Amino acid sequence: MLIRWRSIFFVLFGMLAACGNGDSLETLGGPTMGSTWSIKYVRHAGLPAPEEVRIQVEQILADIDRQMSTYRSDSDIERFNALPANRCQAMPASVLELVRVGEKLSVQSDGSYDLTVEPLLNLWGFGPQAREEKVPAAEALAEVRQRVGYQHLRTEGDQLCKDAAVEVDFNSIAAGYAVDTIAARLEAMGIHDYLAEATGELKASGKKADGSPWRIALEEPRDDRQVAERVIVVDGYGLSTSGDYRNYFVQGGRRFSHTFDARIGAPVSHDLASVTVIHPSALMADGLSTLLLILGPERGWDYAEKHDIGAFFVIRADTGFVTRSSHAFERLSGKKTE
């Protein structure tokens, strides 16, 4: 299974009862990627029953797990990861698509974002092959960094190739891809009023059964309880939050999170606690929220404004948290910039 360490949204519901026209809000869900998935959709006359939708969603998630999981040795990507340098392997189109998305984000972040950080995650104690959460020795870090770098990957037709013993980890974009794929399947089934979510990444379209919009509460970056930082309306967009506050360790009085800057081979050390991105693609929202979290409060903000990305930043301060939202976020979430 793909294991996700992500922050969570929670959905604010108004009236959930069936409407007079016979429409009802159906809800279903289950486990995935070490977390959960859920679907809420308005069932108009003639639309599929929940169990039909469940079958379709679970097939999508099973395919993604079989292709992209770093927690099962027989997945497509883990078989590729086990290959030595200078080897190629035929891959599903979905895997090649995510590699290309990852390369684009790596180039745009000057290598800070990188899909090949799994050896670093393992070394620091955060990955699927981790042994102990600790600051590694300089010699071990130098050795592992030789096996990290998006530039060592390339695609040739339907094959993924590597010229170094790199290992690919899709945890920063797989859930977003899953949500987009599920949303497309729902649309194909005639379902246009829905909220699809996997491990906290989501996409919403249309309205609820009572005609009210999907309202999403962005969670304050706390690990003790859920507190709404802001509430927005989502229709036709994906939403993703990345945070550094639920998976970390402390050593020598310093806090080390699972968010890595591949350029330096170490966890980030800035004050940005979480980033939420709203984007037409849940896949891109997923990847961009991770990218911006890596870049930090200043570089991330500049990047979001330069690329017109809808981003909501939560930054640690002496008195708690301060927030900052890009112009695109205010526009896409239906708010006017102050």
Residue pair 316/288 in contact (Cβ under 8 Å)? The answer is: no
% of the chain exceeding 90 in pLDDT: 66
For the segment 67-93, the average pLDDT, to the nearest whole number, is 96
What is the model's pLDDT at position 321?
A: 87
What is the model's pLDDT at position 185?
A: 98
What is the model's pLDDT at position 178?
A: 98
Residues ≥6 apart with Cβ < 8 Å to 107: 150
For the segment 220-228, the average pLDDT, to the nearest whole number, is 59
What is the model's pLDDT at position 313?
A: 95
Distance, in Å, from the CA atom of 154 to the CA atom of 270, rounded to the nearest integer, reads: 32
3-class DSSP state of 295:
helix
Residues ≥6 apart with Cβ < 8 Å to 263: 110, 111, 112
**DSSP letter, residue 136:** P
Distance, in Å, from the CA atom of 98 to the CA atom of 88, rounded to the nearest integer, reads: 16
For the segment 116-122, the average pLDDT, to the nearest whole number, is 88
What is the model's pLDDT at position 228?
A: 62
Cα separation of the two ends of the chain: 43
Dihedral, 280, 207, 201, 58 alpha carbons, nearest 10: -110
Closest CA to 149 of 115, 108, 102, 174: 115
Higher pLDDT, 230 or 176: 176
What is the model's pLDDT at position 124?
A: 76
What is the model's pLDDT at position 226?
A: 54
The answer, yes or no, to whether residue 75 has pLDDT greater than 60, is yes
Specify the range with the lowest mean pLDDT, choosing from 15-19, 65-69, 156-160, 257-261. 15-19
pLDDT band for position 222 (cuts 50, 70, 90): low
What is the model's pLDDT at position 9?
A: 55
- Tell me the CB-side half-sphere exposure of residue 9, using CA atoms within 13 A: 34
Phi, psi of 183, deg, nearest 5: -60, -40
What is the model's pLDDT at position 253?
A: 61
The answer, yes or no, to whether residue 299 has pLDDT greater than 80, is yes
Query: Which residues lie across from 193 on neighbouring strands?
Result: none
The answer, yes or no, to whether residue 256 has pLDDT greater than 70, is no
Entry pTM: 0.89
Residue pair 334/230 in contact (Cβ under 8 Å)? The answer is: no
The answer, yes or no, to whether residue 148 has pLDDT greater than 80, is yes
What is the model's pLDDT at position 224?
A: 54
Closest CA to 153 of 111, 209, 193, 188: 111
For the segment 10-27, the average pLDDT, to the nearest whole number, is 62
Q: In the chain, what are the domains?
A: 9-66+173-332 (3.10.520.10), 76-162 (1.10.3980.10)
Distance, in Å, from the CA atom of 111 to the CA atom of 152, rounded to the nearest integer, reads: 12
For the segment 314-332, the average pLDDT, to the nearest whole number, is 91
Specify the range with the lowest mean pLDDT, choosing from 12-16, 193-197, 202-206. 12-16
What is the model's pLDDT at position 279?
A: 97
